[in-house]
A and B are shown apart, each in its own frame.
Chain A
Amino acid sequence: MDNKYIDKMLSQMDTELSSKGMSRRDAMKLAGISGASLLVGSTQIHAMEKDQAPIEKSGVTGKIVIVGGGLAGMSTAARLTLSLENPDITVIEPNDLSVSYQPGQTLIGAGIWGEDDIAYNRDDFVPDGVKIIKDRAIAFEPTQNKLTTAQGQEVSYDYLIVACGLQLDFERIKGLEEAGRCYSTGDNSQLHKTLGEDGICSIYTAEGATKTWEQMQKFIAQAASGKKTNFVFTHPSTPIKCGGAPKKIMYLANSRIKEAGARENSELTFYTNGGSMFGIPEYHDAVLAQFKREKFKWNYRHNLIEVDKKNKIAVFDAKWQEKGPWDPIMKEFEVISKHEKKKVSYDFLHIAPAQIAPREIAESDLGSAGGWVPVNKETLQHIKFDNVFSLGDIAQVPMGKTGGSVRKQYKVLVNNLISKMKGEPLVAKYEGYTVCPLITGIGTVMMAEFNWEVKPTPSFPLDPTVERWIFWLMKIYALKPMTMYGMLAGKA
């Protein structure tokens, strides 16, 4: 546990709180009881560990292989180490910075954090006794209980956990084919070479977030100098990790533009492939009200399909429905779906890329037709192979490709895996909780929490649809230590 780091974050937070005449104790009261568990100091984290129901160690044995050592994989490995007397755990992960704190990329994109703030080394978070294979698993034989890595090493297992994440698919956008597919961390030089330096950016990679801030400054300066500037933000047609990020970067850009006094010359437009702002009606209404208040423009059912870098034109596939002829049998008018290409000129274009399951999973017996790993959405057990579990971005659960979902999933998965090893029924259930701390400006965050029933499930006794400064402090200061030192230790 890195106490020094947490103390530093907390003292920064205290400074901000005291400037508003508030103590941390008051802030915790305001944030409510479960907020208190987030806003803890280093000594309090130890206290919290004691408060929690102690993890019972189980004597069951079996070789557990985890594919993917990101936040989901490493947190699971840590918790399994705590839960088993004789853990035999292997994690397969090629990327050295796999556990980097990706939620921070929005903040980097707006110049609030730097890349150093989110870069974390996988090897610093390997629980004692867990073996690491620095390689990619590329062939799976779930009927034989074995897999093969890119270097040709065969790994057999008794239990397999798939947590290999997803890939960003820039290559499906015409004009950016060269960018190829990539992961959020790792070497993305090809991607950034393709995106270039003329207004196209994406916060979905760490390096891309830094570049987003560079580009954003450039075009804010252009707007401030009196030139009309179009800021365009996209949202793709596939499931994406952190569904709020495309909007968060728009809100933050708006804050920075206002800061520079350039709002008059700036037009901010959001193009989403979906038909609403948010899947949950309460949050949709809240976001829509924020869009109106900030005078943003928005277009539903627009999917980015082409970018003309030279002329700075983005082409969207716009879909709509028209009333057709009367159908005398159904006694209804027919509905005709139509679509056309719509050209939009941009100065600054933020792309949220389409996101897909890696090919090795999609084409293996583990993947479903859509590529994701089909699991029971409550027990996280594979629907075909009962010794295979999955969590995180690659798992086919209806909601929430976020770190907040993983925080609930990995505990459920570990409980169920141990039940399975004991031969008992799987009782732990994932309720679909996910959270989206939607940054609506520098200094305000709307804490959108929800579950399967698409009902807001706030952790705080406060109206969740209101943007609050206290949530901003949590997002900036408290969520990272909780993730890096709580979850990755298998405890939070």
Chain B
Amino acid sequence: MKKVMLSISLISTVLFASNNTSTYKSGLLLPPQADIIYKRQCSKCHGDDGKQISFKGSARVTYGVIAGLNTEDVAKTLKEYRGGVKSKDYQLLNKYGYGALMRSITKDLSWAEIDAVAKYVNGLK
């Protein structure tokens, strides 16, 4: 048993030394890391600051400014986009025609992750 304890403590030292959050993935039931999710899933269209309103090089595509929006509203909307049950019988939210796109981005996020992202969006200045 002593040996085990020793190896556990050794491993945890190594762990803390190499604490690297870049391995984070959404949808794995890990503690949510909103900044990473935002960067990967949202920033391409909405911009790092949440103020981008068109995709670079394409004048036709437009988005709303999301920086600073109310946390609860953002969370509610994202949850509606994501939906729960996987069935054709349930109509999912399709605001401005972005339903399919937003669903593909949100479908793997947990509720906790959506809440965290909403808070992050609210904090964008």
Contacts and interface: CB of A to CB of B under 8 A. Distances in A.
Are A and B part of the same complex?
yes
Interface of A: 123, 126, 128-136, 138-139, 148-153, 167, 171-178, 180-183, 190, 305-306, 317, 341, 358-360
A171 B84 contact: yes
Given A150-B23, A150-B24, A134 B8 contact: yes
Interface of B: 1, 3-4, 7-8, 11-12, 14-15, 18-25, 27-30, 79, 82-87, 89-90, 108, 110-112
B15 A153 contact: yes
Contact of A176 (B24, B25, B84): B84
A138 B23 contact: yes
B3 A138 contact: no
B8 A151 contact: no
A138 B29 contact: no
B17 to A, nearest CB: 9
Q: Among the interface residues B19, B83, B84, B112, which one has the most CB atoms of the partner chain A within 10 A? A: B84
Contact of A151 (B4, B20, B27): B20
A126 B1 CA distance: 8
A151 B18 contact: yes
Nearest to B6: A131
A180 B7 contact: no
B7 A131 contact: yes
A423 to B, nearest CB: 29
B8 A190 contact: no
Given A136-B28, A174-B85, A317-B87, 10 more contacts: A131-B7, A132-B8, A148-B23, A150-B30, A152-B22, A171-B84, A171-B110, A173-B85, A341-B89, A358-B28
A172 B110 CA distance: 11
B85 A305 contact: yes
B3 A129 contact: yes
* Majority DSSP secondary structure for residues of B touching A: loop
A480 B118 CA distance: 46
B35 to A, nearest CB: 16
B28 A359 contact: yes
Contacts of B18: 151-153
Nearest to A339: B89
B108 A172 contact: no
Closest 9 CB pairs of A and B: A152-B20, A177-B84, A174-B85, A131-B7, A152-B23, A359-B27, A180-B110, A174-B84, A178-B111
Contacts of A123: 4
Contacts of A190: 111-112
A130 B54 CA distance: 55
6 contacts: A136-B30, A138-B28, A150-B30, A167-B29, A172-B84, A174-B83
B108 A359 contact: yes
A133 B11 contact: yes
B60 to A, nearest CB: 33
Contact of B25 (A133, A138, A177): A138
A172 B11 contact: no
B30 A138 contact: yes
Contacts of A149: 15, 23
Contacts of A341: 89
A332 B25 CA distance: 52
A128 B12 contact: no
B71 to A, nearest CB: 16
A130 B5 CA distance: 10
A126 B4 contact: yes
Contact of A174 (B7, B14, B25, B90): B90
B28 A172 contact: no
A171 B111 contact: yes
Contact of B4 (A128, A172, A305): A128
A136 B23 CA distance: 11
Given A132-B4, A167-B29, A177-B79, A139 B85 contact: no
Contacts of A129: 3-4
Contacts of A172: 84-86
Q: Among the interface residues B12, B15, B29, which one has the most CB atoms of the partner chain A within 10 A? A: B29
Contacts of A139: 23, 25
Given A150-B24, A153-B15, A174-B90, A182 B4 contact: no
A66 B18 CA distance: 21
B28 A132 contact: no
Nearest to B31: A150
Nearest to B87: A305
